[in-house]
DNA sequence: AATCTAATGAAAAATCATATCATTAATAGA
DNA sequence: TCTATTAATGATATGATTTTTCATTAGATT
C-alpha cells in the first residue's frame, strides 16, 4: 500500500520493509497484540525490538493502530482504519471489531447490530480543558 | 471513613493504616498518580511498594479508584466515587473531574456544563461478546 | 556514484511489576 | 484479656518490559 508510505512520510518517517512487516502482523491479528507478543512474533523475521516499539508509536500517530485493554488490563494494539474509532472487545475470545460511528447514545444500541456483539460494558475517557485552563492562552503541562 | 472499612471487608480485605494512607494520597491528587509516583510519594511514610500495588487493585475493585491515560499514554490512577463513572482529563493541566452521568450522547454535550471542561476528545472502549461467542455456552479465553 | 539522512538492532541500562517469605498486626473466640 | 487464627506488610529477589546508546546499514537526493 503506497498510502502508508505517504502517511509515514507526512510524519517525517520512512516506510521500510520492517515497518511493513509490523503493520501486516497487526492487520492479521484480530485480537490485537501486546508489544512483547509482537516482538516474539517477529523474532524469526529478524525485526528488532526497538523497531517494533518505534513502529507501534508511528502507526498510532497516523491512525492505523489503536489500543484496547485485555482482560488483564494490558494494552493490546489493534489495527484500525481511522484516527477516531471505537473498538469493541469480545470478553470471551478477545476479538476486536471496529466501530467508526460516533453518535454515542445511539452507538451502544446500534453497536450490537453493526458488529454482532452483545455489549456488556465500556470504558470511556474524555479529554478536554478544565475551566481554569480554558481561560489561559498558553499551556503548562501536568 | 468507616464505609471504606466495610467495603474492604466485603472483598475479604482489611482496611489498614497503610491502605488508608494510599487512599488519602489519591484523594488529594486531582491529576491522579502513576503507581511509581504513588510509591515515591509514600516512601517517607513507610508504605511499601507491594502494599501500594495491592491497595490500588483493591480500591479499583471497590470502585474508589479508576484510571485515565495521561498525555504520555501512561496509566494514572484517580480517586472516584462510584464503580462506573467517566473521568474527564484536562489536556493542559491534567486535572481530572468525575462525571457520573452515563447517557452517552447527551453526556458529551452536558459534560461541559457539568464540569466546566471544554471537551476535546475521548477514548471509548466497549466490552462484550462477539456473535460467535454469544452463541457458545462456556468460555475459552483469548 | 557521492552525499546526506534516517532506520536498524545489539547491547546495556533503567524502569516497572511480581513473587517469596519472615515478621508484624488485626480479628475473633475462649 | 489472652490466645489462636488469619491476613498484611515490606525487604529482597526475581522477572519482565521499556528506553537509551551507538556502530552499522539502508534509503533518498543530487
Ligand atoms: Zn468472541
Ligand atoms: Zn468517539
Ligand atoms: Zn486544566
Ligand atoms: Zn458509561
Domains identified in chain B and CATH numbers: 2-141 (1.10.10.10)
- Please judge whether B88 and A129 are an interchain contact, meaning their C-beta atoms are less than 8 angstroms apart: no
Q: What is the pLDDT of residue B131?
A: 77
* A108 alpha carbon – ligand 4 mean position (Å): 10
* A76 alpha carbon – ligand 3 mean position (Å): 29
> Integer distance in angstroms from CA B75 to C1' D27?
37
- Please judge whether A90 and B125 are an interchain contact, meaning their C-beta atoms are less than 8 angstroms apart: no
Give per-residue pLDDT as tens, A68-116: 888 788 899 999 988 877 788 887 788 888 877 665 545 556 566 666 6
Q: To 10 degrees, the CA torsion angle through B96, B97, B103, B109?
A: -90
A77/A66 Cα distance (integer angstroms): 6
Q: What share of chain A is helix, strand, coil (3-state, %, to 5)?
A: 40, 25, 35
Q: What is the pLDDT of residue A101?
A: 64
Phi, psi (rounded to 5 degrees) for B138: -95, -170
> Integer distance in angstroms from CA B79 to C1' C22?
33
Average pLDDT over residues A122-127: 71
- pLDDT exceeding 70 applies to what percent of chain B? 77
Instruction: Quote the cell numbers at residue B6.
Output: 466495610
- Angstroms from A11 CA to nearest CA on chain B: 18
Which residues, at least 6 apart from A75, have a Cβ–Cβ distance to it below 8 Å?
A: A34, A35, A67, A68, A69
> Integer distance in angstroms from CA A13 to C1' D27?
11
B120/B108 Cα distance (integer angstroms): 10
Q: What is the pLDDT of residue A139?
A: 45
Give the dihedral sign, CA A5/A9/A11/A12.
Answer: positive
Residues whose Cβ atom is located within 5 A of ion ligand 4: B 102
Nearest alpha carbon to residue A57 among A116, A112, A117, A11 = A11
Q: Which ligand is nearest to the CA of B92?
A: 3
Nearest by CB to B120, from A108, A118, A127: name it.
A127
- Which of B84, B99, B101, B126 is best to mutate for the A interface (most A CBs within 10 A)? B126
B5-34 burial, b at 16+ Cβ within 10 Å, e below that, comes to: eebbeeeebebeebbbbbbebbeebbbbbe
- Please judge whether B123 and A120 are an interchain contact, meaning their C-beta atoms are less than 8 angstroms apart: no
Tell me B137's DSSP state. Answer: S
Q: To 10 degrees, the CA torsion angle through A97, A101, A106, A111?
A: -10
Give per-residue pLDDT as tens, A10-54: 999 999 999 999 999 999 999 999 999 999 999 888 899 999 999
Confidence of residue A60 (pLDDT cuts 50, 70, 90): very high
- Is the pLDDT at B66 greater than 50? The verdict is yes
Nearest by CB to B122, from A108, A116, A125: name it.
A125
Q: What is the pLDDT of residue B18?
A: 96
- Please judge whether A126 and B108 are an interchain contact, meaning their C-beta atoms are less than 8 angstroms apart: yes
A30 CB neighbour count, 10 Å cutoff: 16
Q: What is the pLDDT of residue A1?
A: 54
Look at the pTM and tell me if it is higher than 0.95.
no
Whether CB of A23 is under 7 Å from strand C: the answer is no
Distances (CA, A) of A122 to A42, A82, A89, B126: 31, 20, 9, 4
- CA-nearest residue of chain B to A104? B105
Confidence of residue B141 (pLDDT cuts 50, 70, 90): very low
Which residues, at least 6 apart from B1, have a Cβ–Cβ distance to it below 8 Å?
A: none
CB distance A96 to A30 below 8 Å: yes
Of the listed ranges A40-44, A66-70, B19-23, B121-125, the least confidently predicted one is B121-125
Amino acid at each position: 500500500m503506497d498510502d502508508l508510505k505517504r502517511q509515514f512520510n507526512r510524519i517525517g518517517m520512512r516506510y521500510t520493509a520492517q515497518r511493513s512487516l509490523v503493520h501486516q502482523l497487526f492487520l492479521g491479528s484480530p485480537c490485537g497484540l501486546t508489544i512483547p507478543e509482537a516482538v516474539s512474533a517477529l523474532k524469526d523475521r529478524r525485526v528488532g525490538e526497538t523497531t517494533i516499539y518505534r513502529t507501534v508509536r508511528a502507526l498510532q500517530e497516523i491512525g492505523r493502530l489503536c489500543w484496547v485493554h485485555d482482560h488483564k488490563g494490558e494494552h493490546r494494539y489493534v489495527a484500525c482504519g481511522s484516527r477516531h474509532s471505537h473498538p469493541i472487545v469480545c470478553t470471551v475470545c478477545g476479538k476486536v471489531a471496529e466501530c467508526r460511528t460516533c453518535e454515542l447514545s445511539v452507538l451502544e444500541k446500534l453497536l450490537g447490530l453493526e458488529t454482532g456483539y452483545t455489549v456488556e460494558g465500556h470504558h470511556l475517557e474524555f479529554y478536554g480543558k478544565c475551566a481554569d485552563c480554558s481561560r489561559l492562552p498558553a499551556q503548562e503541562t501536568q
